Amino acid sequence: MFLVGAVAVGILQTVIILKIWKIYGIVSKLSKEKRNTVTVLTVGITVLMNYLLFQKQWESTDSINSIVVYTLLAGIAGIDLKEKKIPNKLLMAGMMIRTGIILSECIINFLEIKRIMIHSITGFVFGLVFLFILCTISRQGIGYGDVKLFAWLGYCVGILDTYNILFYSALFTACAGLYLVLIKKESKKTEIPFGPFVFMGTYLVLFMK
């Protein structure tokens, strides 16, 4: 049953992710053979991730929230990797969808409204403020797009998971930086897109919950 759901949702997510990449000119720059390869890999990875997450048997709103976060974040990661930018339109779409999910959660768990609202608002404020401070300290080594990205993530997953996502994202980025400098002999000033590593960190945190 988990596998059937993972395949169905994975295919739908892949369609959306590829559509996002197409809108921002990511896949259109690839040859037909490479586009097919990207499609197969995206389906395979998405189905596997869904299968692992679905076994946790979360509540329906939590599962939907995770699916939305994964889908949009995958789209953002691909764009950031290729174009070094994080589109505001995708973040706004994510905020709107999350707001709809919060309203659904409040209706389903009417007695938990206060907890639900505090969970999302504190996550949003933490992601926004803490990343803005890091952005300022690093002299935009962390960009304003990353600040907005973590504000959205905080709104979706709360303050604790946002902190953990930041930790693992930074860890993965540091490992990539060492690889580029020590193995590839790149300059220490080489720009590394944060989005793909945030995607990896987010999935790891969701998987460990």
The full length of the chain comes to: 209
Q: Mean of the pLDDT values across residues 48-71?
A: 85
For the segment 163-207, what is each residue's pLDDT rounded down to a tens digit?
A: 999 999 999 998 988 887 777 767 767 788 999 999 999 999 988
Alpha helices by DSSP H, 55-87: 60-83
- List phi, psi (to 5°) of 14: -60, -40
Asked if the model's pLDDT at residue 150 lies above 90, the reply is yes
Q: Mean of the pLDDT values across residues 156-161?
A: 95
Q: Mean of the pLDDT values across residues 77-89?
A: 93
pLDDT at 30: 76
Asked if the model's pLDDT at residue 58 lies above 80, the reply is no
Task: Report which secondary-structure segment, H or E, holds 45.
Answer: helix 32-54
Report the chain's mean pLDDT, rounded to a whole number.
89
Q: Mean of the pLDDT values across residues 142-166?
A: 95
pLDDT at 188: 67
- Full DSSP string of 157-186: H-HHHHHHHHHHHHHHHHHHHHIIIIIS--
Q: Mean of the pLDDT values across residues 49-67?
A: 83
Q: Select the more confidently predicted residue: 123 or 45.
A: 123
Q: Mean of the pLDDT values across residues 88-101?
A: 96
What does R_g of the chain's alpha carbons equal in angstroms?
Answer: 17
Task: Give the single-character DSSP code of 184.
Answer: S
